[in-house]
Structure 1
Amino acid sequence: MLERITVDEAVRALRPDFAVLIMTAEGLTNGPSDEQSADWLAGAAAKAADDPHVEAWREAYRAFGAKPQRTRPSVDALLRRADALPSINRVVDAYNAVSVEYALPIGGEDLDAYQGPARLVRATGDEPFDVITSGEPAVEHPSPGEVVWRDDEGVTCRRWNWRQCVRTRLTENTENGLFLLERLEPYSLDRLTEAGEELATRLRAISPGAHIRSRLIGGR
């Protein structure tokens, strides 16, 4: 999977400064949130601060027609509730804490739920995106031209990093994870790498036997 993930040229044309650090973690032993993951979230809240990277993401959203005041980039949404970050499970808590500490959008997915490789594209508008609405499964569709992550079955994350689908979400039963750490200028590639190393450290604290690999796409 790692070598087959791609970023489409239409996305590169929109934001040539985009880079994504892709990580796979195989052999995870996830579980309910615990004292350690709660400490990570509390530590992230203490370090949360305004960062120009957030505004860069708002500009990127506007570039493909989204309104970042209504559907916020993931890091913007997390920073706005840094003092009350929700506990989900140990792995999700780990990457949410790193996202807040580093002012960096990070997505976590269940690698085994993917159908074919992940790729970042501009949507045609007919791709399925599975959600839960009023407690029931439902299917939505992205807007034409929207930047989305997808696989062979449909959209896995809408509006670049705004909202993940139900099918590939990372749960307590996830054994193999995919993590997407996304950067725009002026965020440095060195800091992106540092964030990836910190996430890997926390994943190994949760699952000492996990096998972690990474690959950088983009950057200039």
Structure 2
Amino acid sequence: MPDITELDAFLASASVADEVFALRPDYRALLIAADGIEPGAGDDAGEALLVRAEEWARRATAGTPVEQLPHIAAWRDAFRGFGAKPQRTRTSVEALTRRAVTGLPRINRLTDLYNAISVLHQLPIGGENLRNYAGAPRLIRATGDEPFDTVAGGEPAIEHPETGEVIWCDDAGVTCRRWNWRQGRRTQLTDATSAVLFILDVLDPMTDDELETAADELAGQLRRLGSDVVTTRRLIARPSTQEPR
């Protein structure tokens, strides 16, 4: 049985820099860690969740442009705050919602699961292989020197964020650029992943209750992926507004 105290300690080490809260005081990150997942490819339950998300996206965008959906609009504003152009650099939930209208990709059961929940609950979610982390996850504004392990032109490449860009990182470098735009290769989920970190990024007008509903569904889906799965979570918010957990 996986040790939940180790997961709790890992989440306790995570942090969000004051400079990020200065940019968006309404920002909250809900982190979910899980271990004991039985590795595998896509499954029927994940397929049903993807279909549900696709149907939701078609209904939601039938009379409203994607960029005007409330949480997507808030994230577009946040991206402008650190110099990103949302027309060219789309937050992950906007990119997925646009794709969902014609069909979401089928990748592996962990990725399929969080992509579907991201669309259904309209919030950016990052999925990371917890065992490939080097130290604590941190959300900071980049110096521009941090390495980002990615693919360019079909080949492995090391890039660097722009100075002031909002990035998730650990001791080895960037794990996700531009808040929730593009994840790195080192911590990406695969068919063999058994321990995961999910990062749910939230801005107003999404409420804490709506966030917890999304987190509950994600955790419930994770627990069906093995008889020994354990999950734990932590909310990080601006210190003056953070509730004790």
TM-score grouping bracket, smaller chain normalisation: over 0.9
Does 1:94 pair with 2:113? yes
Q: For 1:82 and 1:206, how far apart are their aligned partners in 2?
A: 24
- What does the per-residue CA deviation read over 1:34-65, in whole Å, with 9 as the maximum and x for residues that have no partner? 22211110011112225301000000000000
Q: Which amino acid aligns with 1:39?
A: A
Q: Which amino acid aligns with 1:31?
A: G
Q: 1:30 aligns with which of 30, 39, 42?
A: 39
Report the equivalent of 2:181. 162
Q: Which residue of 2 aligns with 1:55?
A: 73
- Identity across the alignment (%): 53
Could you tell me which residue of structure 1 aligns to residue 89 of structure 2? 71
Q: What is the root-mean-square deviation of aligned Cα atoms in Å?
A: 1.0
TM normalised by structure 1 equals 0.97
Alignment-derived partner of residue 100 in structure 2 = 82
Cα deviation code 1:56-99 (max 9, x no counterpart): 00000000000111010000000001131001111111111100
Distance 2:80 2:227 in 1: 41
Find out whether 1:180 has 2:199 as its counterpart. Answer: yes
- Give the match's secondary structure for 1:124: coil
Q: Which runs of 5+ in 1 are unaligned?
A: none
**What residue in structure 2 maps to residue 2 of structure 1?**
11
Secondary structure of residue in 1 paired with 2:224: helix
Structure 2 stretches lacking a partner, 5+ long: 1-9, 61-65
2: CA distance, partners of 1:186 / 1:30: 36
Q: Does 1:39 align with 2:48?
A: yes
Structure 2 letter corresponding to 1:60: A
**Amino acid paired to 2:42:** S
Give the Cα separation in 1 of the matches to 2:109 and 2:33.
Answer: 16
2:222 is the counterpart of 1:213? no
Kindly indicate whether the alpha-carbon contact (under 8 Å) linking 1:64 and 1:147 is maintained by their aligned counterparts in 2: yes
Code of the aligned partner of 1:192: L
- The TM-score with structure 2 as length reference comes to 0.87
Task: Note the alpha carbon deviations across 1:98-122, whole angstroms, 9 max, x for none.
Answer: 0000001000000010000000000
Q: 1:19 maps to which residue?
A: 28
